[in-house]
């Protein structure tokens, strides 16, 4: 093997310019494969995150009431006692659940003079909403924490605030479905990047929302559940629906179109990258074919001096894999540098306050796939020329000379 490696290196260096061109082809392919995939998947995560980060994995949207028949009332020892049940924490104690956030959704009218703009208000638990669903990341001005600190406050979507000609610190008047008018202090703007969503929605605290609709402190309309494993959402939603006898919607059912779009964009990126690698493989195939025709004498001498067909095949496969390895490693470095370059390009959008540069996904899996494909492609590209070289008959070559 050592001798075969020395011979392969000599043949490789004898045509080092052609070998370098083949390696550059592999390098370019891997660089573009990693750069394209990193950017496209980063973009996918950004686009999906606009909705998925703000969407509960499971949403229960009927008010849950404690069961009037509790286990303690069935125990004979406590049959004649009064039973005080403070809460039922079945969901929070589920080991599959990362956390829950309570919410109140109610339709309202936002008043702009004599004009009323139909919209809705979400009363949220600010701390839970921020830790589970990145609420503060979408605040373009002000702070989400002000909802919990300032009574009767509201945060509006930036397009809605522009419609109302409302600045931070102003009073925003809303009309509830009961016809009551309430003034709320504007303490911030939010922007999710989806204008249709931003121009009809405002956020308040749960306590403020309960006052708006004249409900007690125990009243909620939604329980938002975030799971450790998002893929379990359909199963958990079905289980909770049966357990609590309520409606339950999982994130896959609510946002199926986003998953489909993300899958298609990622698939296109993979296909383009693989196509580039195949093109580079044809370049290696052509170079090795030319090398074999030019080195027929050397191959004949090798076989005449005792090298077997397997040895000759191994030598040319070593040449192909050397090109693939060298080009692949340079491609990994090039792909990482291209990703860094894209990641450093400024990107500012009013609708995306949390984004300052183009999104890039530095997933190590892409680099593993890149080097694997470079080796597989170059091995396949070198297999046929190596097989052809192993079948050279030294007698025919020497007789021809």
For the stretch 266-317, pLDDT in tens is 788 778 777 877 776 777 677 767 777 777 777 777 777 888 888 888 888 8
Tokens of 177: 């479905």
Determine the average pLDDT of the residues in 381-393.
79
Instruction: Kindly report the three-state secondary structure assignment for every residue of the chain.
Output: CHHHHHHHHHHHHHCHHHHHHHHHHHHHHHHHHHHHHHHHHHHHHHHHHHHHCCCCCEEECCCCCCCCCCHHHHCHHHCCCCCCCCCCCCCCCCCCEEEEEEEEEEEEEEEECCEEEEEEEEEECHHHHHHHHCHHHHEEEECCCHHHHCCCEEEEEHHHHHHHCCCCCCEEEEEECCCCEEEEEEEEEECCCCHHHHCCEEEEEHHHHHHHCCCCCCCCCEEEEEECCHHHHHHHHHHHHHHHCCCEEEHHHHCHHHHHHHHHHHHHHHHHHHHHHHHHHHHHHHHHHHHHHHCHHHHHHHHHCCCCHHHHHHHHHHHHHHHHHHHHHHHHHHHHHHHHHHHCCECCECCECCCCECCCCCCHHHHHHHHHHHHHHHHHHHHHHHHHHHCCCHHHHHHHC
Q: Give residue 84's pLDDT band: very low, low, confident or very high (50, 70, 90).
A: low
Determine the average pLDDT of the residues in 70-96.
67
Tell me what the pLDDT averaged over the chain comes to. Answer: 81
- On whether the CB atoms of residues 312 and 299 are closer than 8 A, the answer is yes
- The pLDDT value given to residue 354: 62
Evaluate if pTM is beyond 0.85: no
Which of the residue ranges 63-72, 118-127, 168-177, 279-288 would you say has the lowest mean pLDDT? 63-72
- Which residues touch 102 (CB under 8 Å, ≥6 apart)? 124, 125, 128, 206, 220, 222, 223, 224
Q: Is a pLDDT exceeding 70 seen at residue 213?
A: yes
- The pLDDT value given to residue 400: 62
Q: Is a pLDDT exceeding 50 seen at residue 246?
A: yes
Determine the average pLDDT of the residues in 35-44.
83
- On whether the CB atoms of residues 202 and 183 are closer than 8 A, the answer is no
Determine the average pLDDT of the residues in 215-241.
87
Which of the residue ranges 96-110, 140-154, 156-170, 350-364 would you say has the lowest mean pLDDT? 350-364
If we measure between CA atoms, which residue out of 381, 327, 241, 359 comes closest to residue 30?
Answer: 327
- The pLDDT value given to residue 69: 62
pLDDT in tens, 140-156: 888 888 998 999 999 99
Give Cα 384 to chain centroid, integer Å. Answer: 40
- Residue that has been written with the tokens 């394209």 in this structure: 36
Determine the average pLDDT of the residues in 371-400.
78
- Which residues touch 275 (CB under 8 Å, ≥6 apart)? none
- Residue that has been written with the tokens 């580079």 in this structure: 280
Which of the residue ranges 9-23, 109-123, 270-284 would you say has the lowest mean pLDDT? 270-284
- The pLDDT value given to residue 282: 77
pLDDT in tens, 329-357: 999 999 999 999 998 888 776 556 567 78
If we measure between CA atoms, which residue out of 257, 241, 221 comes closest to residue 102?
Answer: 221
Q: Is a pLDDT exceeding 60 seen at residue 63?
A: no
If we measure between CA atoms, which residue out of 279, 275, 308, 283 comes closest to residue 382?
Answer: 283
Which of the residue ranges 242-256, 344-358, 380-394 would you say has the lowest mean pLDDT? 344-358
What is the distance between the alpha carbons of residues 313 and 248, in angstroms, rounded to a whole number?
62
Express as a percent the part of the chain with pLDDT over 90.
19
- Residue that has been written with the tokens 């229960």 in this structure: 60
Q: Is a pLDDT exceeding 80 seen at residue 172?
A: yes
Q: Is the dihedral of CA 54, 59, 65, 67 positive or negative?
A: negative
- Which residues touch 100 (CB under 8 Å, ≥6 apart)? 91, 92, 128, 132, 223, 224, 225, 226
Q: Is a pLDDT exceeding 70 seen at residue 70?
A: no
Q: Is a pLDDT exceeding 90 seen at residue 183?
A: yes
Which of the residue ranges 32-46, 185-199, 276-290 would you say has the lowest mean pLDDT? 276-290
Could you tell me which residue, 113 or 155, shows the higher pLDDT? 155
- On whether the CB atoms of residues 209 and 121 are closer than 8 A, the answer is yes
Q: For residue 108, count CB atoms less than 10 angstroms from its CB and return exposed for 0-12, middle for 13-18, buried for 19 or more.
A: buried
If we measure between CA atoms, which residue out of 294, 320, 327 comes closest to residue 387?
Answer: 320
If we measure between CA atoms, which residue out of 291, 388, 389, 308 comes closest to residue 1?
Answer: 308
- On whether the CB atoms of residues 350 and 191 are closer than 8 A, the answer is yes
Express as a percent the part of the chain with pLDDT over 70.
83
Which of the residue ranges 12-21, 24-33, 72-81, 173-182 would you say has the lowest mean pLDDT? 72-81
Main-chain dihedrals φ then ψ at residue 58, nearest 5 degrees: -135, 130
Which of the residue ranges 55-69, 95-109, 216-230, 338-352 would you say has the lowest mean pLDDT? 55-69
Q: Give residue 86's pLDDT band: very low, low, confident or very high (50, 70, 90).
A: very low
- On whether the CB atoms of residues 373 and 33 are closer than 8 A, the answer is yes
């Amino acid at each position: 093997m050592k001798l075969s490696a020395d011979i392969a290196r000599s043949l490789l260096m004898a045509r080092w310019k052609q070998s370098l061109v083949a390696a550059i082809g592999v390098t370019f392919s891997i660089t573009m494969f990693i750069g394209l995939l990193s950017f496209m998947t980063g973009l996918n995560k950004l686009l999906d995150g606009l909705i998925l980060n703000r969407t509960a994995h499971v949403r229960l949207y009927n008010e849950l009431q404690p069961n009037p028949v509790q286990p303690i009332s069935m125990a004979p020892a406590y049959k004649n006692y009064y039973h005080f049940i403070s809460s039922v924490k079945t969901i929070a104690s589920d080991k599959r659940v990362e956390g829950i956030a309570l919410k109140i959704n109610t339709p309202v009218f936002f008043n702009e003079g004599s004009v009323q703009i139909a919209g809705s208000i979400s009363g949220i638990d600010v701390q839970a909403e921020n830790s589970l669903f990145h609420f503060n990341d979408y605040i373009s001005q002000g702070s989400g924490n002000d909802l919990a600190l300032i009574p009767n406050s509201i945060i509006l979507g930036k397009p809605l605030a522009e419609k109302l000609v409302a600045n931070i610190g102003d009073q925003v008047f809303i009309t509830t479905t009961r016809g009551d008018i309430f003034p709320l202090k504007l303490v911030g703007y939010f922007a999710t990047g989806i204008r249709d969503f931003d121009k009809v929605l405002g956020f308040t605290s749960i306590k403020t929302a309960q006052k708006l609709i004249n409900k007690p402190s125990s009243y909620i309309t939604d329980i938002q559940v975030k799971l450790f494993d998002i893929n379990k959402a359909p199963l958990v939603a079905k289980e909770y629906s049966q357990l609590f006898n309520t409606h339950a919607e999982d994130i896959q059912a609510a946002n199926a179109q986003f998953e489909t779009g993300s899958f298609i964009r990622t698939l296109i990126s993979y296909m383009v990258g693989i196509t580039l690698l195949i093109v580079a493989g044809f370049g290696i195939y052509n170079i090795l074919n030319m090398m074999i025709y030019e080195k027929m004498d050397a191959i004949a001498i090798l076989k005449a001096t005792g090298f077997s067909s397997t040895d000759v095949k191994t030598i040319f496969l070593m040449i192909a894999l050397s090109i693939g390895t060298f080009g692949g490693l340079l491609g990994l470095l090039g792909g990482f540098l291209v990703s860094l370059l894209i990641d450093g390009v400024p990107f500012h959008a009013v609708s995306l306050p949390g984004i300052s540069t183009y999104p890039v996904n530095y997933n190590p899996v892409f680099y593993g796939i890149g080097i694997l494909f470079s080796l597989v492609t170059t091995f396949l590209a070198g297999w046929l020329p190596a097989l052809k070289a192993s079948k050279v008959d030294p007698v025919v070559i020497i007789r021809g000379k």
